[in-house]
Amino acid sequence: MRHPRLPIVVVGSGVAGMTTALAAAPAPVRLLCRSADGTGSASALAQGGIAAALGEGDGVEAHVRDTLEAGARHNDASAVRWLCEAAPATVAWLDALGVAFDRRPDGGLQLGREGGHGVSRIVHAGGDASGAALMRALRAKVQAAPHVQWRGGVDAEALLLRGGRVAGVRVRDARGRQQLIEAAAVVLATGGLGALYARTSNPPGADGAGLALAMAAGAATRDLEFVQFHPTALAVDGHCLPLLTEALRGAGARLVDRAGVPLMQGLHPLGDLAPRDVVARRVWQARQQPAGGAWLDARSIEGDWHARFPTVLATCLAHGLDPRREPLPITPAAHFHMGGVATDLDGRSSLPGLYAVGESACNGVHGANRLASNSLLEAVAGGRRLGAVLAAGIAASTPGAYRWVERGASLPPENLLALRELLWHAAGPVREDMALRMAWRRCAAAAGAGWQMRLARALLQAMRLRCDSLGAHWRGDPGCAAQAGS
Ligand code: SIN
């Protein structure tokens, strides 16, 4: 083991990437991101907060139980325990970093409730603007950190392998200029892939590019079939839809049909606060009915909307809707990928020198369906853990032949639009074998057209092979005739 002279390259500057970069001190870090100014990550849009068993009568056991229940017990139990145990210290670390969490008049942390949680255990900062608050605090620390060199406006398009170990990246800027960055280790913190769907709560950059790069290099993946759909995106035109946070339902909002009849009544003991996959399927089904649809009625919420839900209020008003006065039209939207680059809890992938953290990784913590507000938690807790591993020193690279692995060309825009529609209809909240098979065939036939097709082919393959319903992967057809490669 030695302290690396080469930098650690972190690809992605959302919460997971910035936390990893900070925690890796004093190792030198190059932090790369696609947007020129560091904006554009899904983290900044996160309206939920951080789940942590901090309330009276709550405890780690209960947080573990709710995480496993939401995850359909597909989670790795030891990973879940690690996450839930790490949660209170994660909140304390962010507090010390300067994140101004919302507090009660007596100074204690204000705890909110979201779907799948048996009690109130979500801390927020700035009401429904928690992600932005975390990003601001982390960004200030990163900018002041002498060991971190930040570079925006570049896309990591290829990995350098030397002697079987990942030893660098090649980036390309908006003018097409390429640069090789040799690295002691490469960390993918590139987020999820919701933007591959026609309707998503994610920003356009959450398109699975990091996962596709890892796959091109031969890194093992895991649980690709588990894509979470948020039940309450605002049903307006567009690709990246505004989110209506679950905290609204935690504060009393109800899901209703056109006639105002509650949608969740009698369907689940937690009613409107059932785990996200259950609610998303109900909303999806309600929208499939002739003259159907689904609405979120938040008119009963009391208190200061500007303080509690500033993002939701401003977004709705911008679309000509007032949540204080009228029910809001909703649709499910692709929100979070439980699957990703297979890693251990230290973020190690199957490829020496390649790490992944946050949504781009799959370490088994979320199972088949992530519990609300466990994602910012995992991004910070996982980033701190991985950063500490990298700071402690990483194995020296082995001499050997160099080889470049390319992610490959991107799909032309019109093909990307078609792919998004294909995935939305075939690989959405309810899936059927015939539609999955036809979609897989289309992607397989067009695999050479762009990396998004190859990634979609892999997702569809995983969905076809899981014939049973589990968590966010719901099969609407009885039985299963999937044959790999047919
Ligand atoms: C939400 O605020 O509803 C989203 C929170 C999350 O994704 O955990």
CATH number for the domain spanning 252: value is 3.90.700.10
Residue 2 belongs to some domain of the structure: no
- One domain, residues 322 and 389: no
Which of 275, 301, 334 delimits the end of a domain?
334
Could you count the other beta carbons within 10 Å of the beta carbon of residue 383?
Answer: 29
- The SS3 of residue 214 is helix
- One domain, residues 61 and 145: yes
Domain region containing 445: 410-465
Instruction: State which H helix or E strand residue 180 sits in.
Output: strand 178-182
Number of domains in the chain: 3
The ligand 1 atom at the shortest distance from the C-alpha of residue 336 is 7
Assess contact for 101 and 68: CB atoms under 8 A.
Answer: no
Residue 29 pairs in a beta bridge with 8, 148
Instruction: Report the distance separating Cα 208 and Cα 193, nearest Å.
Output: 4
Residue 345 belongs to some domain of the structure: yes
Instruction: State which H helix or E strand residue 94 sits in.
Output: helix 77-97
- One domain, residues 361 and 389: yes
Which of 306, 334, 362 delimits the end of a domain?
334
Which of 303, 334, 365 delimits the end of a domain?
334
- One domain, residues 91 and 197: yes
Residue 128 belongs to some domain of the structure: yes
Tell me the two tokens of residue 463: 């969905």
CB-based contacts of 236, cutoff 8 Å, min separation 6: 242, 319, 329
- One domain, residues 233 and 216: no
CB-based contacts of 20, cutoff 8 Å, min separation 6: 10, 187, 189, 347, 357, 383, 384, 386, 387, 390
Report phi then psi at 50, rounded to 5.
-125, 125
Residue 265 belongs to some domain of the structure: yes
The model's pTM:
0.95
- One domain, residues 236 and 329: yes
- One domain, residues 159 and 171: yes
CATH at residue 111: 3.50.50.60
State the residue for tokens 């679309």: 319
- One domain, residues 189 and 266: no
Instruction: Report the distance separating Cα 407 and Cα 8, nearest Å.
Output: 20
Best residue among 229, 245, 369 to mutate for probing ligand 1's pocket (most ligand atoms within 8 Å of CB) is 245
373 lines ligand 1 (CB under 6 A): yes
- One domain, residues 162 and 209: yes
311 lines ligand 1 (CB under 6 A): no
Torsional sign, CA 183, 189, 194, 195: negative
Instruction: Report the distance separating Cα 314 and Cα 72, nearest Å.
Output: 35
Instruction: Report the distance separating Cα 392 and Cα 27, nearest Å.
Output: 9
- One domain, residues 117 and 106: yes
Return the closest-CA partner of residue 10 out of 171, 227, 162, 127: 171
**Helices and strands: H and E segment counts in the chain:** 13, 19
Residue 287 belongs to some domain of the structure: yes
Residues labelled as active-site residues: 276
Tell me the two tokens of residue 421: 């529609």
Tell me the two tokens of residue 471: 């968590």
Cis ω before 231 (30° cut-off from 0):
no
Cis ω before 332 (30° cut-off from 0):
no
Residue bearing the CA closest to ligand 1, atom 4: 48
Q: What is the DSSP string of 435-460?
A: HHHHHHHHHHHTGGG-HHHHHHHHHH
CA-based radius of gyration for the chain: 21
Residue 187 belongs to some domain of the structure: yes
Residue 117 belongs to some domain of the structure: yes
244 lines ligand 1 (CB under 6 A): no
- One domain, residues 62 and 134: yes
Assess contact for 10 and 187: CB atoms under 8 A.
Answer: yes
Between the CA of 121 and the centroid of ligand 1 the distance, in Å, is 13
- One domain, residues 418 and 291: no
What pLDDT does 1 receive? 44
Per-block mean pLDDT, blocks of 10 residues, the chain (486 long): 75 97 97 86 86 96 97 98 98 97 95 92 93 94 97 96 94 96 97 97 95 98 98 96 93 95 93 92 94 95 93 96 98 98 98 98 97 96 98 80 94 97 97 96 97 98 96 84 47
Largest CA distance in the chain: 69
State the residue for tokens 């356009």: 204
43 lines ligand 1 (CB under 6 A): no
Residue 474 belongs to some domain of the structure: no
What pLDDT does 92 receive? 98
- The SS3 of residue 10 is strand
Tell me the two tokens of residue 479: 């039985």
